Structure 1
Amino acid sequence: MSKANTARTYEDFKPLFDWKREDGSDIVVINLPGFKKEQLKLQLDAFGKMKISAERPINGNKWIRSCKDFHVPEYCIQNDIHARFNNGILYVTMPKKATQTSTQPPALPAIAAPQPLPAGVTPR
């Protein structure tokens, strides 16, 4: 069998997710129907970026995959992040630092609107 016949083809999908805030933690809930725990991967880098990826076969050499990045808020304890997978739903719990356990957590950072270029300046 040639390599061309065994190459995987992928179908990308964007799972539904929700970000829940509680007194002691933030929880990301991601809907990953049809996946098994072994087909999921959660990675956290030193800059507070959490990457959740999932990949599973559909039939033959056709696979379905997903990859979603999240920024872990500074008020969460990165070393205590843990995940639980149950019935196609991934729960990622990010405990808050003790100073952030009030009922009013800080707002998520806003995305700044692009600023207009000064007159006479053209973009490259």
Structure 2
Amino acid sequence: MKNEENTEPCYDDFEPYCQWRKEVGASIIQEIHIVEIQLQGFKEEELKNEMRWDGCLYISGEHPMGNNKIKRFNKKIDVSKYDIKGIEAKFEDGKLHLRLPCKSSTFSLFTNGRGNTIGVLNLPKFLKSSMALALLIILGFYMYKYSQCTYFGN
């Protein structure tokens, strides 16, 4: 009997280390999440990414290790709360850097009839509450000042 070599690749699946952090964008109200994925030994051409209909970004990669072994990973990131058009990626020194701008950083005034926001102020709740309180205080001050200047007697 002949000693047949196994030509099937042996896969070494792993979960890459990911580090998340928040960053303030160009304006105070713009929030950006930065994801750094550790992929030591991988080359940029060994990585694939795909945006799917479910609102998730799928990142995968395969790196040959020699002796018919292949190191591979699959990573799924929910990007439904981010501005997909603003997502940026950069691969450098064995790290994949993703820059994910939050949708809540948009500033607009109206909505059109189809449900697209072209105008509502999309800010965090505490900021909306603070702005409403400030407007009420200013309005109250002017009403008080106006009532002192106006005499309603006969």
Is the TM-score greater than 0.5?
yes
- For 1:88 and 1:68, locate their aligned partners in 2 and report how far apart those are by CA, in whole Å: 16
Counterpart residue type for residue 48 of structure 1: G
Task: Provide the aligned C-alpha RMSD in A.
Answer: 2.3
Structure with greater helix share of residues: 2
Q: Could you say which residue in structure 1 is the equivalent of 2:13?
A: 12
Equivalent residue, structure 2, for 1:22: 23
When you count strand as a share of all residues, which structure comes out higher?
Answer: 1
What is the CA–CA distance in structure 2 between the aligned matches of 1:56 and 1:93, rounded to whole Å? 24
Contact 1:15 1:30 in 2 (8 A): yes
Distance in 1 (alpha carbons) for counterparts of 2:16 and 2:123: 29
Shift of 1:101: 7.7
Inter-partner Cα distance in structure 1 for 2:93 and 2:37 = 11
Counting only pairs closer than 5 Å after superposition, residues 1-124 of structure 1 correspond to structure 2 as 5-24=6-25, 25-74=32-81, 76-97=82-103, 98-99=105-106
Q: How many residues align?
A: 100
TM-score (norm 2): 0.57
Deviation at 1:73, TM superposition (A): 4.1
Contact kept? 2:56, 2:80, Cα under 8 Å: no
The secondary structure found in structure 2 opposite 1:5 is coil
Quick one: higher RCO (CA 8 Å, sep 6+), 1 or 2? Answer: 1
TM-score (norm. length: structure 1): 0.70
Identity %: 37
